[in-house]
A and B are shown apart, each in its own frame.
Chain A
Amino acid sequence: MRTPKPLLIFSALGALATASASLAAAVDTSAWKCSACPFEKGPSGTVEVGLGNVSDESAKFTDMSGLEKGSYLVLGGSARLRDESGFFGSLSASELGLDTRSLSGQLGQEGLFTARLSYDKLPRRFADGAATPYLGNGGNLLTLPAGYPRDTTGLMPLATTLQPLQLGYDRSRVDGGLRWIGGEHWTYRVNARRDERNGTRPGAGAFFATTAQLAVPLDHVTNQIEVSASYVGQPLQATLSYQLSNFRNGQAALSFANPFTPVAGASQGQLALAPDNEFHQLAASVGYDLNAMFRASADIAVGRMTQNAAYLPLTLTPGLAASLPALPASSLDGRADTFNAALRVTIVPPIEGLRLNASYTRDVRDSDNVAQSFPAVSTDMFVGLRPVTNTPLSFFQDRLKFVADYRASSRLKASAGIEYDSRERSYSEVVTTRETTVWGRIAGQPRDDLSMSLKLSRSNRGHSDYGVSTWTDDPQNPLLRKFNLAKRDRQAGAARVDWTATEKLSLGVGIEGTQDDYSESVIGLTDGRSLSLNVDAAYAVTDKTQLRAFAQAETMHTRQVGSQLFASPDWTGRIRDRFSVVGVGVKHLAMGDKLELGADLTVSRARSVTLVDTGTATDPFPDTTTSMDRLKVTATYQLKDNLSLVGSLWHERYDAADWRLDGVRPDTVPYLLAFGQQAPQYRVNVVQFSVRYRY
């Protein structure tokens, strides 16, 4: 008899099924060969080469993008390698032809270590149309050409001495790390980072009633290193780490000539630049699972900030210097100790759906600076009658939070919390502020395709007696309540609805608002409120075409009160900011999926209205506005499986109007030698073509 094979196989499978069921309890992986597993072997990667062109010049556009007028090289790519021995490595590079270039690499041995190293550059550009007569910009000594000083800017030979000034710096970062697996539970890490900033930023140097905007040099180096050991097990996880951050400034001071006719012999001034400083911190964190109903974790960090840069002379004016007493010390020998601790507890009580969280946090910045008296030298010109004393500032903050989450069903969750925030300060008008916040949130999913949430909160901040500080300044108006110390009532709310209308269409809408009331502030910030509304949508038109869009509109109002007569309120200042942004994006696959098209359009508008009312007829401020349209179109055509052509077009229009800058020339104000920079306005097109090869 010929036995029909399909029948035999069918019968055998039936028997096997039953047999395997009885053997399922034990996990025997000896037969798990993973022979079908496509483990990565050998090298792979991509290379992209091409050219790009930027049509126009704009500091604002170049800022953080690195795109400057002219052509640039498109160069980037990636490489990966993994071999049978468990060695792995990768390298990636992007924007190598621009000042935003980045490189990163990683290598390691599976199960043993991973080492990484990266380089990243970021250009900052600050001003369009800035100019200065100063010589030596970027250095620590600014001099003036012949023709200076003069009584006013109008008398200065600006026409012949002004030169364009590019304000900005390049930040470069080298970041590396080593992670070593030390057995089943231990991992050790060493991370190191070096940041360098070289260039200039805007600043100013005053001589009492006259002043000049200056290019302040940046020659900053920050080195950071963090070493840690982590234990991960059950029920305990713990990490111990040490961090050092060391800041070095290659320029301790900026000396600058006085462009105005010196008063009291003050022909030169000097700014102290950011002094060298260090921060050490020892930190530990621990997590513990007692059981399924209780988990706790805690952090503690003890740190110290130090700074001991040598003091600069009180003045560069020889006559004044000769009349001054010696400084009380040659440097601050500054020190501030930090302490941060937190304890978090999560409890799942035997009530289905209920979960409780509690946390306590203490943050301290305790200054050990010595308070000393200094002659009140003002802008290298004269010395005040009363010496001034520095104020070592210390802050102590305690926060306590309780949160309860209750999941009534798979579709409904309610949460509530109370938070208590207490702060103590030294050398402050208020010793203690205490704020209590109560909030509630409910989130539901009435239908499979609909989710909703609503959160409301209310907080109240009070303070101890409000005094008047006179340590370093003349007394403030006694009716003032500084906004960070004042009694404040805050109400906030947020709601959101997300709806998956169809398999292809999803919609979301959210609204948030906050209202602050500083009810006891007669002078100072009295109230503020903000409201924002956002909408977003995603629509899959077809399998090949996808659309997405978002929009946000927000408004923010603040009101403050002042007194010109140092008495009762006699003026109010209001600022009303409005901002809206709309973004639309589309992705489309064409030509048998060989052509991938993408387009993103972003349109934003901002308007800031400043109203100052003194009760008399005054001119209004023009509105400050920003208008930006950005269109990015990309196309990727796949010539072969491993070869693509990439093209992109980026058009950006930016128009800003700012009464602080527009029309202000270096000599607009007789006593202010300004940069004369203008609010940014540009229209820039960026075209880029490249070839991408994958191997």
Chain B
Amino acid sequence: MKITRHLLLVLLLLTGLSWQLTASAQGKPLPSATAYSEEGADTCLGCHDEDEGKYKAKALFKTKHAHRGNSRAPFGAGGLQCEACHGPGALHARNKKGAAINSFKADSKYTLEERNQVCLTCHQGTTRTAWHASAHERANLACTDCHQVHQENDRVLAKSTESEVCQSCHKQQKADFQKASAHPVRQGKMACSDCHAPHGSSAPAMLVKPTLNQTCYSCHADKRGPLLWEHAPVAEDCASCHTPHGSVRAALLTKSPPLLCQQCHTTAGHPSVARTGSSLPGGNAGGTGFLIAGSCTNCHTQVHGSNHPAGSKLMR
């Protein structure tokens, strides 16, 4: 009987080993790539249980993706939990290979479009309606290039840190915000997304509003009008005189007056006069008041237009 029992034991052992060897040799016994794990997130957290480091996953549970009460969220009732985004994980749970699952990393076996489509499955529409034709989509950006889904605080969603993410690619703008005159992005009081729609829009430079002026008016509504005496370049395009990200001169101007104004104002008389250094205080040319302090705006102070019935010259 002892021999029989030992033989049975050996037979059982060999059976198990043979299945294992077969699995390794032919791949059949391993779960298919479309098989989900047995216990969902509990399976994943069996390994990915670190707060920090390579296998961190816990911070996700402080984010909206882990809202159990939201049936639309991955962890909502009936949700596929981690596998809602990372795809079927049974194979990965077995072979531990990153390639067996959608890691959302560049070296993933999934294409960029496939990775992004996972996010768009839920996040398409609203502000992402124009994503398909956006410059960022065409530049092959992955959602995870900007978003940190597994972080308690996604840097790109916080006003104070969003610009760091954007400026990791937009170097020119990073330098612009260091200039003497700039919107308060460097101070963390304004975000790039206050003006730009990073997921795409119809406006130039992916602005949040249909036009540049409408975008500017969302904060500078005092310039909106319509006014009785409108300054044509103001009504048409704020960027005629202002550069939005930063300027070496005051008020984000592209040039300083009087040369700024003299690009368009050439009527006979003082607008046509060339103001040189000889017009500076102590010089012999006179006309100092046309040059210093506010220059042209010393008199034509209403450069954005006027609603005064006597304001046609933008002096009232």
Contact = CB atoms under 8 A, between A and B. Distances in A.
A346 B132 contact: yes
B5 to A, nearest CB: 4
A3 B9 CA distance: 8
Nearest to B121: A234
B108 interface: no
Contacts of A546: none
A24 interface: yes
A674 interface: yes
B129 A297 contact: yes
Contact of B248 (A473, A579, A612): A579
Interface stretch (A358-366, A456-464, A645-653): A358-366
A160 to B, nearest CB: 22
Contacts of A571: 274
Interface size class of B (residues with CB under 8 A): 35 or more
Nearest to A329: B309
Interface string A440-455: 0000000000000000
A271 B80 CA distance: 65
A338 B202 contact: no
B211 interface: yes
Nearest to A3: B9
Contacts of A491: none
A249 B294 CA distance: 24
Contacts of B232: 391, 393, 425, 427-428
B299 A566 contact: no
Contacts of A286: 129
A272 B302 contact: yes
A624 interface: yes
Nearest to B3: A1
Contacts of A32: 39-42, 81
B267 A334 contact: no
Contacts of A663: 281
Contacts of B125: 230-232, 237-239, 287
Nearest to A235: B124
Interface string A310-346: 0111110000000000010000101110101010111
Nearest to A574: B259
A515 interface: no
Contacts of A413: 140
A403 B124 CA distance: 22
Interface in A77-93: 80, 85-86, 88
B73 A477 contact: no
Interface string A527-570: 00000101010000000000000101010001010111110001
Contacts of B12: 8, 11
Contacts of B203: 361
A33 interface: yes
Interface in A373-412: 374-380, 388, 390-393, 395, 403, 405
A155 interface: no
A664 B281 CA distance: 8
A181 B67 CA distance: 13
Interface string A627-646: 01000000000000000000
A120 interface: yes
Interface stretch (A51-59, A140-148, A301-309): A301-309
A369 B267 CA distance: 26
Interface stretch (A131-139, A257-265, A600-608, A683-691): A600-608
A561 to B, nearest CB: 10
Contact of B310 (A35, A340, A378): A378
Nearest to A9: B16
Interface in B264-289: 264-269, 272-278, 280-281, 283, 285, 288-289
A572 B132 CA distance: 47
Given A558-B255, A575-B255, A619-B277, A122 B227 contact: no
Given A202-B294, A483-B264, A669-B288, A21 B34 contact: no
A53 to B, nearest CB: 19
Contacts of B19: 14-15, 17-18
A14 B225 contact: no
Nearest to A554: B175
A573 B298 CA distance: 21
Given A11-B16, A566-B272, A534 B175 contact: yes
Interface in A211-244: 211, 213, 220, 222, 224, 230-232, 237-239
Interface size class of A (residues with CB under 8 A): 35 or more
Nearest to A377: B310
Interface string B18-42: 1110010000111110111011111
A682 interface: no
A269 interface: yes
A110 B224 contact: no
A27 B75 contact: no
Interface string B225-262: 11111101101110010000000110000011001001
Given A11-B13, A335-B226, A672-B289, A379 B315 contact: yes
Contact of A604 (B179, B224, B235): B179
Interface string B65-77: 0111111110110
A365 B235 contact: yes
A1 B175 contact: no
A122 B292 contact: no
A163 interface: no
Contact of A305 (B20, B225, B248, B275): B225
B175 A622 contact: no
B80 A27 contact: yes
B307 A275 contact: yes
A560 B259 contact: yes
Contacts of A510: 171
A626 B249 CA distance: 9
A176 to B, nearest CB: 15
B99 interface: no
A200 interface: no
B313 A581 contact: no
Given A111-B71, A211-B289, A367-B226, A15 B266 contact: no
Contact of A477 (B28, B61, B255, B266): B266
A24 B224 CA distance: 61
Given A577-B248, A661-B293, A10 B16 contact: yes
B6 interface: yes
A202 B68 CA distance: 54
A394 to B, nearest CB: 9
Given A14-B29, A286-B129, 8 more contacts: A34-B40, A36-B42, A237-B124, A307-B224, A575-B256, A614-B274, A618-B277, A674-B298
29 contacts: A7-B9, A13-B16, A110-B70, A204-B294, A204-B301, A211-B299, A213-B293, A232-B122, A287-B125, A299-B129, A311-B309, A312-B309, A376-B310, A380-B310, A390-B230, A391-B232, A472-B312, A476-B267, A523-B266, A550-B171, A562-B266, A579-B175, A608-B248, A618-B278, A621-B276, A626-B180, A628-B178, A664-B292, A668-B288
| 4 A-B pairs with the lowest CB-CB distances in the bound complex, closest first | A24-B35, A110-B69, A237-B125, A86-B69
